[in-house]
């Protein structure tokens, strides 16, 4: 069991089927040891939960907190529920963050996106979900944009849809996930990828729609990234 949290700080992290924060569970004793994950379900009733980080010692790289979540395995389909979880002063590892050579730009409804934070990270594979690269950027208004695609991706053009492994999500209000928007249509073009240096370049455009109100939509156009992924 473990977590991938794409951020930092002592606070509450929401795990969901559309979240960049992931909880996973695997039991080698089971007849089928394939993993369960909080981002594997298609509906909130299938997967989700939270991790609350209560303290972080960055010098010693030790962390404490609580957690509870539902994790899902879509090919069975089966679900596990974890409750009243606690971890105290355990070790943790960190991935990479934006460096001076990283570039990201896009227009949101015709207005240039201002980059406050930027990262490109990979998650552990949770069969049948492949290992994914997640590009995450936050603007000064605390709105977040995620673009996800398989780490094994090759140069070419791919259709973006929330029903595939090539998808995107826009979080206009981090305090209210009811406003979450998912990309229904769009394209992602990988211009180049170098596994040795972990550099990847691409362009993208897509339209996102709010899950709870399909009339609310956002257009992301003229997207470009050139980044190192970790």
| 71-129 pLDDT tens trace | 887 767 888 999 999 999 998 766 544 566 799 999 999 999 999 888 888 876 666 67
pTM: 0.64
For residue 120, list its beta bridge partners.
135
Q: What radius of gyration, in Å, describes the C-alpha atoms of the chain?
A: 17
The pair of structure tokens assigned to 38 is 């909080």
Q: Which residues pair with 15 in a beta bridge?
A: 49
Number of domains in the chain: 2
Last residue within a domain, chosen from 91, 124, 153: 91
Do residues 66 and 118 both lie within one domain? no
Assess whether 110 and 220 both reside in one domain.
Answer: yes
156 within domain boundaries: yes
State residue 119's pLDDT score.
Answer: 87
> Is residue 62 over pLDDT 80?
yes
* pLDDT for 18: 66
194: pLDDT strictly greater than 90: yes
Residues 108 and 36 in one domain: no
Q: Provide the domain limits for residue 64.
A: 2-91
Q: Are residues 78 and 122 in the same domain?
A: no
Query: Can you tell me the mean pLDDT for 173-201?
Result: 90
Task: Determine the Cα–Cα distance for residues 6 and 171; give it in Å rounded to an integer.
Answer: 14
Q: Is residue 83 domain-shared with residue 110, that is, in the same domain? A: no
Q: Which residue has the higher pLDDT, 186 or 24?
A: 186
70 and 183 in a single domain? The answer is no
Specify whether 62 is located in the same domain as 9. Answer: yes
pLDDT score recorded for residue 33: 62
């Amino acid at each position: 069991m473990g977590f991938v949290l794409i951020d930092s700080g002592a606070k509450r992290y929401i795990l969901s089927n559309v979240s960049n924060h992931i909880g996973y569970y695997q039991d080698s004793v089971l007849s089928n040891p394939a993993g369960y994950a909080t981002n594997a379900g298609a509906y909130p009733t299938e997967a989700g939960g939270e991790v609350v980080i209560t303290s972080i010692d960055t010098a010693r790289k030790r962390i404490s907190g609580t957690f509870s979540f539902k994790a899902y395995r879509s090919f069975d389909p089966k679900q596990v529920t974890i409750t009243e979880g606690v971890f105290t002063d355990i070790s943790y590892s960190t991935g990479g963050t934006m460096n001076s050579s990283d570039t990201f730009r896009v227009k949101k409804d015709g207005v240039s996106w201002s980059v406050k934070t930027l990262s490109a990270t990979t998650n552990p594979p949770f069969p049948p979900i492949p290992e994914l690269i997640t590009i995450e950027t936050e603007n000064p208004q605390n709105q977040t944009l995620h673009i996800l695609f398989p780490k094994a991706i090759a140069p070419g053009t791919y259709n973006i849809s929330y029903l595939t492994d090539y998808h995107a999500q826009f979080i206009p209000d981090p305090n209210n996930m009811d406003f979450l928007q998912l990309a229904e249509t769009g394209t992602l073009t990988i211009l180049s990828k170098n596994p040795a240096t972990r550099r990847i370049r691409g362009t993208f455009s897509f339209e996102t729609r709010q899950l709870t109100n399909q009339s609310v939509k956002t257009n992301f156009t003229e997207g470009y990234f050139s980044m190192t992924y970790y």
